[in-house]
Amino acid sequence: MAMEFDLIARIRARVAARGDVVLGIGDDAALLQPPPGLQLVVTMDALHAGVHFPHGTAPADIGWKALAVNLSDLAAMGARPAWCTLSLSLPEGDAGLVDALLDGFLALAREHDVALVGGDTTRGPLSLCVAAHGFVEPGRALRRDGARVGDDVWVTGTPGDAAGALAALQAGAAVDRALRARLDRPQPRVAAGRALSGLATACIDVSDGLLADLGHVCTASRVGAVVELEALPASPALARFRPEMRWPWQACGGDDYELCFTAPPEHREAIARALAGAGVPAARIGRIEDGQGVRALRPDGSAWTPAVPGYRHFQDPSPLL
């Protein structure tokens, strides 16, 4: 059983340096030097065992995901990530568990040149609470409140994969490897968010389900939206399912951490170019209209209503317990 400071020393020994970290882990607080003229973008998200990841998830995947969901929020703002902090709650002072959590956490941090600059370490049920900090040029942040009537609605990647993996897990069925990877190691769309800054009118990351999250954009922007189910891009693994089976995953499944964004039709080509440059596929799935709420349409034009619109923490039973 390691002591708290031993654990912190293990963490400190592994973090990469960044030029703008004047003082990192080890003092009462970190000293950070933001670039002049840029706005600081701050976000925080916690991951709790049994709520945000199934019991039995590999610790390295938990570590990865704890940072990924936060970098996804920065991506959805069009921000460039820089720093993060980690509040760690552990049932026991298990150094091996800390090492394994960090394997995933720091692997993703390296990919995005994010420095872990501080945190807290306490005893309790396994959970990771991460804050992430990034920068954006003034006026260039991607907000939820900028969607306009007539805008296209777009989504990156292939939403629904994580929900497909979860459905198989819950059914006790074999889980497709590609789908499982999407659930356990989501790739925050940081490059896409940066590329969309200046082109998209509004943006959100899909954590609670595409229709539900697009609904947040609509509420903030005081508009409505229509989504064509036929236009939802399906990964090869999902395309093997009947549409009626996979639509709920694609339209309402959370945990994919793709970006849903809006942009005027005259930006179509520029968006395709910008996202190709970022190496991220995207599809047009609908449009913004007058009114409120999100309508989903079947290929024949009839309205489709999902059984469960999206995950709600204080209303739904945990999908993982």
- The contact set with Mg ion (CB under 5 A) reads 120
Helices (H), the chain: 4-14, 59-76, 95-111, 161-170, 177-184, 190-196, 210-221, 236-239, 243-252, 268-278
Chain-centre distance for alpha carbon 46 = 12
Q: How far apart are CA 75 and CA 81, in angstroms?
A: 8
Q: Which is nearer to ligand ADP, 121 or 262 (CB)?
A: 121
Segment interacting with ligand ADP (CB under 6 A) among 23-31, 172-180, 247-255, 271-279: 23-31
**Do the Cβ atoms of 62 and 47 come closer than 8 Å?**
yes
Whole-number Å distance between alpha carbons of 178 and 163: 12
* Cβ(85)–Cβ(274) below 8 Å: no
If one asks whether residue 88 binds ligand ADP (CB under 6 A), the answer comes out as yes
Task: Decide which of ligand ADP, Mg ion, none touches 27; Cβ closer than 5 to 8 Å per partner kind.
Answer: ligand ADP
Tell me, residue by residue from 260 to 279, as one string, x for binding to ligand ADP by CB under 6 A and - for no binding: --------------------
Residue 120 or 244: which CB sits closer to Mg ion? Answer: 120
208 labelled binding-site residue: yes
**Range in contact with ligand ADP (rule: CB under 6 A) among 35-43, 113-121, 180-188, 212-220:** 113-121
Nearest residue (CB) to Mg ion, 129 versus 203: 129
Query: Which residue lies nearer to ligand ADP by CB, 26 or 291?
Result: 26
Distance in angstroms (rounded) separating the CA atoms of residues 93 and 229: 48
The binder of 86, among ligand ADP, Mg ion, none, by C-beta within 5 to 8 A per type, is ligand ADP
Integer Cα distance of 309 and 207 in angstroms: 13
Q: Where along the sequence are the contacts to ligand ADP (CB under 6 A)? A: 8, 11, 25-28, 86, 88, 116, 118-121
